[in-house]
């Protein structure tokens, strides 16, 4: 089983995740047997499942060397640096809620990394079954500092400096160092009691003592359960009320489209008909903004991954998912010109976005109102974008705006003296290059516009 160990599952000696025949299993090592049986006997796992705090699992096998669990499948794993502000907030609140629940039942979380949270059925869920341990009266929360580094620090930085701060774990996979957090915060932040006691004092303590000294002092420290619950409640209240005030370019995109309502409805109907025609069950909506077109095609789909560079638009999409209980839509923040790479040990601990997409074998990609930005803002040749899309899904529905489209004209004019270098941008060249990787199934001009929709099928 260990030869099938997932590349991200090696840090905890209690066990690991294995992938066998495309199925996910959790392998528990003997060192965690006693803890697992205690939690199970107390019925605490079932309680967590019922309250949607922990991803459910089924025990499928056990012997003297290992216990084997089969967790419920999370359709698509996302990472903290792909979340919008509300997603990040809700992931933090979920972790605090779980820790409070654990304390109230005689347990505690030994890990509070943001990577232990996934989104399933529209909401956050904790996915590391082996992160729960016994609570001993007076023992401090072992994962408190980790929570500050993974959650509170990035969220507070985002409050002051914007959404980009939420990408910080792509650089600091083990959490943002608290000394750096407090160095970046404005001077006035220290006047907030919670921030001062949690971030400033913890950073000062870490700076004063070495890791070894800090570890020794933590072992001898005592914090009552009552005090811990008060700290958790204070953190929960503060994070729940956090807001971000950052205007972004595309968060009201559909209010400023350059074609009328009839054309827009025709486009929606055509996209929906083509998706139904190919019976797509897994769909990627690239540059999907607030999920308008994702909702047109979500009926009958098992998974709709909606990506967009604009974090506020993704946030709007996520809040709609929660409100409408649209559990098959997965909104993520993603820049197609700079997609999330593989990071961590051997560049394989956290997978690239492309690797996760390819592994899912998506049926169709939607690339609506996108190609002119890729080609003219990003200077990406048609051949390169065609080859990229061909790796991601079997079918491609792509919208091509001609040169007299107002958005295209604006982008071409912005090239100034280099405008002539983009003469290649036209229907003929687009079709020629994309036919190298795809077979054209259908195409139709959107009435009243200079835009054409294409349905392509990847060549085998």
State the DSSP string of 47-105: HHHHTTSB--EEEEEE-SS-EEEEEPP-SS---GGG--HHHHHHHHHHHHHHHHHHHHT
- Does residue 56 share a domain with residue 38? yes
Establish if 108 belongs to a structural domain. yes
Single out the residue in 48, 71, 94 at which a domain terminates: 71
For residue 220, give both structure tokens. Answer: 């001898």
Residue 111: helix, strand or coil by DSSP?
A: coil
> What is the C-alpha separation between 319 and 203, in angstroms, rounded?
34
- Does residue 446 share a domain with residue 388? yes
> What is the C-alpha separation between 160 and 169, in angstroms, rounded?
17
Establish if 420 belongs to a structural domain. yes
Residue 60 is predicted with a pLDDT of 96
Residue 260 is predicted with a pLDDT of 86
Single out the residue in 194, 212, 240 at which a domain terminates: 240
Single out the residue in 46, 71, 96 at which a domain terminates: 71
187 to 178, 191, 200, 205, 337: CA distances (angstroms): 15, 8, 11, 19, 35
pLDDT of 363 strictly over 70: yes
Confidence class of residue 428 from pLDDT cuts 50, 70 and 90? very high
Q: For residue range 11-63, what is the model confidence (pLDDT) as tens digits?
A: 999 999 999 988 999 999 999 999 999 999 999 999 999 999 999 999 999 99
Average pLDDT over residues 282-293: 97
- Does residue 141 share a domain with residue 40? no
CB 395 within 8 A of CB 442: no
- Does residue 222 share a domain with residue 145? yes
- Does residue 426 share a domain with residue 289? yes
- Does residue 398 share a domain with residue 261? yes
Domain that residue 179 falls in: 80-240
Average pLDDT over residues 422-434: 94
Establish if 175 belongs to a structural domain. yes
Residue 246 is predicted with a pLDDT of 79
Q: For residue range 61-120, what is the model confidence (pLDDT) as tens digits?
A: 999 999 999 999 999 999 999 999 999 999 999 999 999 999 999 999 999 999 999 999
Q: For residue range 129-175, what is the model confidence (pLDDT) as tens digits?
A: 999 999 999 999 999 999 999 999 999 999 999 999 999 999 999 99
- Does residue 205 share a domain with residue 133? yes
Burial of 308 (0-12, 13-18, 19+ CB in 10 A): buried
For residue 150, give both structure tokens. Answer: 């993974």
Residue 254 is predicted with a pLDDT of 55
pLDDT above 70 covers a percentage of the chain that reads: 95
Q: For residue range 192-243, what is the model confidence (pLDDT) as tens digits?
A: 999 999 999 999 987 766 555 555 555 557 899 999 999 999 999 999 999 9
Confidence class of residue 331 from pLDDT cuts 50, 70 and 90? very high
Residue 253 is predicted with a pLDDT of 58
Average pLDDT over residues 269-284: 97
Establish if 414 belongs to a structural domain. yes
Query: Number of structural domains, the chain?
Result: 3
- DSSP labels for 340-400? ---BSGGG-SB--HHHHHHHHTEEEEEE-S-HHIIIIIS---HHHHHHHHHHHEEEEEEEE
| Tokens 């910080």, located at residue | 168
pLDDT of 283 strictly over 60: yes
Residue 247 is predicted with a pLDDT of 74
- Does residue 431 share a domain with residue 292? yes
Residue 218 is predicted with a pLDDT of 53
- Does residue 369 share a domain with residue 258? yes
Pairing label, strands 67-71, 107-109: unpaired
Q: What is the mean pLDDT of the chain?
A: 93
For residue 146, give both structure tokens. Answer: 């980790």
- Does residue 451 share a domain with residue 338? yes
Residue 206 is predicted with a pLDDT of 79
């Amino acid at each position: 089983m260990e030869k099938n160990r997932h590349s991200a599952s090696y840090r905890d000696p209690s066990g690991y995740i294995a992938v066998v025949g495309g199925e996910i299993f959790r392998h528990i090592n003997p060192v965690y047997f006693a803890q697992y049986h205690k939690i199970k006997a107390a019925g605490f796992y079932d309680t967590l499942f019922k309250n949607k705090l922990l991803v459910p699992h089924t025990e499928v096998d056990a012997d003297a060397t290992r216990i084997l669990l089969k967790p419920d499948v999370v359709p698509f794993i996302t990472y903290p640096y792909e979340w919008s502000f509300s997603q990040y907030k809700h992931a933090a609140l979920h972790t605090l809620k779980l820790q409070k629940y654990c304390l109230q039942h005689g347990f505690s979380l030994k890990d509070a990394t943001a990577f232990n949270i996934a989104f399933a059925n529209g909401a956050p869920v904790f996915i590391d079954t082996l992160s729960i341990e016994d609570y001993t009266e007076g023992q401090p929360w072992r994962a408190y500092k980790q929570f500050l580094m993974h959650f509170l620090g990035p969220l507070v930085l985002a409050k002051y400096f914007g959404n980009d701060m939420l990408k910080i774990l792509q650089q600091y996979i083990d959490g943002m160092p608290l000394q750096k957090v407090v160095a970046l915060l404005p001077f006035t932040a220290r006047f907030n009691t919670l921030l001062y006691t949690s971030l400033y004092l913890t950073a000062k303590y870490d700076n004063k003592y070495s890791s070894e000294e800090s570890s020794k002092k933590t072992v001898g420290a005592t914090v009552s359960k009552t005090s811990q619950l008060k700290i958790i409640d204070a953190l929960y209240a503060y994070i729940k009320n956090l807001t971000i005030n950052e205007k972004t370019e595309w968060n009201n995109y559909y209010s400023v489209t350059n074609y009328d309502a009839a054309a827009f409805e025709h486009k929606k109907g055509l996209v929906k008909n083509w998706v139904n025609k190919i019976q797509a069950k897994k769909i990627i909506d690239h540059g999907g903004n607030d999920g308008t077109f994702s909702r047109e095609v979500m009926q009958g789909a098992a998974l709709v991954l909606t990506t967009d560079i604009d974090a506020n638009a993704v946030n709007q999409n996520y809040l709609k998912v929660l409100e409408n209980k649209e559990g098959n839509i997965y909104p993520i923040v993603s820049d197609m010109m700079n997609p999330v790479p593989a990071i961590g040990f051997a560049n394989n601990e956290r997978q690239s976005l492309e690797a996760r997409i390819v592994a899912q074998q998506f049926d169709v990609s939607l690339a609506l109102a996108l190609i002119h930005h890729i080609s003219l803002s990003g200077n990406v040749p048609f051949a390169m974008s065609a080859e990229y899309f061909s790796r991601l899904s079997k079918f491609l529905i792509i919208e091509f705006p001609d040169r007299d489209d107002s958005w295209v004209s604006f982008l071409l004019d912005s090239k100034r003296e280099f405008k002539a270098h983009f003469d290649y941008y036209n229907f003929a060249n687009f079709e020629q290059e994309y036919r190298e990787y795809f077979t054209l199934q259908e195409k139709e001009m959107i009435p009243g516009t200079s835009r054409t929709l294409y349905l392509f099928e990847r060549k085998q």
